[in-house]
Structure 1
Amino acid sequence: MNFGTIGAGVVAQAIARHLITAGHRVTLSNSRGPSTLDEVVATLGPSASAGTVDDAAAADMVFLTVMWPNVPAALADLPSWGGRILVDATNQFANLDPVEVAALGDQTGSERVATLAPEARVVKAFNTLHAKYIAADPRHPAGRQVLFYAGDDTAAKTTFHEVTDGLGFAPVDVGALRDGGRLMQVGGGPLSALHALKQD
């Protein structure tokens, strides 16, 4: 599989590093253009490349890691997703200082993302973990880092499970985007910021 990131910050680089270590190729992108990612790509190694957002979005599995207010612009005007997998790693923080959670009515954040990326198979994941836990080796003497995920497409979730299990995480399916997403999202979700290990 080919992988891409929309956003190239700490979370995107951490996920990319795990994928590259496992032997995959990753195209990173941001809103400022590929030339601004030369140093990041050089640090990640030859299996990483910089591209436009369109380039990254053409991958088989794409990780969305931008700040919540930037999500609409990041997903705007992209070609049809055609059933490719979009992993939503965002949290719906409207503001960080002071902290303010965006009001979405009865929608979860990933349901909103799905409306902005028609024909994408959306999987919610990585948003419950602090960046340092994403970046660290998920394999620990006491067990593997639990990675909660949710989605409405069974095949997409199976693929995501296989990929992240191969990276060393212990992926745990918590249901559909609505019910599972509510468990995972900031502002009251009981799985938000829950860091746990699973013994094999």
Structure 2
Amino acid sequence: MTYSIIGTGNIGKALARQFARSGTAIGVANTRGPESIASMAQEYGNKVVPLTLQEALKADVIILAVPFWAHRDVAKAAPTWQGKVVIDATNAYGVPLSDLDNLPSSAIVAKALPGAHLVKAFNHLPAGVLAQDPATAGGRRVIFLSSDDEGATATVAALVEKLGYAPVSLGKIAQGGQLVQARDKSWAPLIFQDLFKKEK
């Protein structure tokens, strides 16, 4: 299984740090090219590999860590999304509901990526918290997942575990997934909830 992060803002960097910490290889790309990522890769070690956007789009699992509307540019960059697992880590805070056809923002992202298996994840924590060690004496930090595809949810849950977090599924995007979808100028109730799951 190969992984890539598209986006090198605060969320993309925080996730790259977690991949490096867990010893899991991750390709990282942005629209500015691999040279702009070299210093980050140097800081995080050889598990973080700078890629072109086209190279990053070849991964089995792609994490979208870009500003919300930038997903449209990423969508156009791939010849096909068929069979790809895409993790939507974006937030549509401040985007009018009319611009989203009153749908959850992840439903809009999914429409732009025909054939992809989309999972909402890694969007509910601020980057500074996401960058911290997910394990504490009390347990593991929770990452919420929502998707209309059970197989993709299982794939992403396994990745979340590999990175040291505790996955918690909220069910389908239009149902439990609404708990982590920003709407217009309001944050959903589970966004910013820094929860831990106790080890048994």
TM-score by length of 2: 0.91
Unaligned residue ranges in structure 2 (runs of 5+): none
Secondary structure of 1:4's aligned partner: strand
Whole-Å separation in 1 of the counterparts to 2:7 and 2:89 = 10
Q: Does 1:197 align with 2:199?
A: no
Deviation at 1:113, TM superposition (A): 0.6
Distance in 2, matches of 1:143 and 1:102, equals: 37
Q: Which residue number in structure 1 is paired with residue 35 of structure 2?
A: 35
The match for 1:149 among 145, 152, 171 is 145
Q: Is this contact kept in 2: 1:146–1:196, CA < 8 A?
A: yes
Name the aligned partner's letter for residue 54 of structure 2.
D
Q: Which runs of 4+ in 1 moved over 4 A?
A: none
**Alpha-carbon displacement from aligned partner over 1:42-85 (angstroms, at most 9, x marks no partner):** 11211221112121111111110011132211222312122111
User: What does residue 17 of structure 1 align with?
Assistant: 17
**Match of 2:77, SS?**
coil
Q: 2:164 aligns with which of 161, 168, 190?
A: 168
TM-score, normalization: structure 1? 0.91
C-alpha distance in 2 between matches for 1:81 and 1:70: 16
Gaps of 5+ in 1: 94-99
Which residue does the alignment assign to 1:101?
Answer: 95
Question: What fraction of aligned residue pairs are identical, expressed as a percent?
Answer: 33
Q: Secondary structure at the match of 1:83?
A: coil
* Contact 2:19–2:47 (8 Å) recurs in 1: no
Closer, same or farther: CA 54–143 of 1 in aligned 2, 3 Å = same
Map 1:59-74 → 2, pairs under 5 A: 59-74=59-74
Q: Tell me which residue corresponds to 1:97.
A: none
Aligned counterparts of 1:90 and 1:127: Cα–Cα separation in 2:
6
Shift of 1:188: 4.5
Instruction: State the aligned residue count.
Output: 194
Deviations 1:24-52 (A, max 9, x none): 21111111111211111111211221112
Contact in 1 for aligned 2:5/2:27 (Cα 8 Å): yes
| 8 Å Cα contact 2:5-2:12 kept in structure 1 | yes
Counterpart contact for 1:2–1:24, Cα < 8 Å: no
- Alpha-carbon contact 1:31-1:74 (below 8 Å) kept: no
The one-letter code of the counterpart of 1:192 is: I
Q: Following the alignment from structure 2 to structure 1, what is the Cα–Cα distance between the partners of residues 194 and 96? A: 23
Cα distance change of structure 1 residues 39 and 188 upon mapping to structure 2, 3 Å threshold:
closer
* Structure 2 residue aligned with 1:86: 86
Distance 2:116 2:59 in 1: 12
Aligned to 2:129: 133
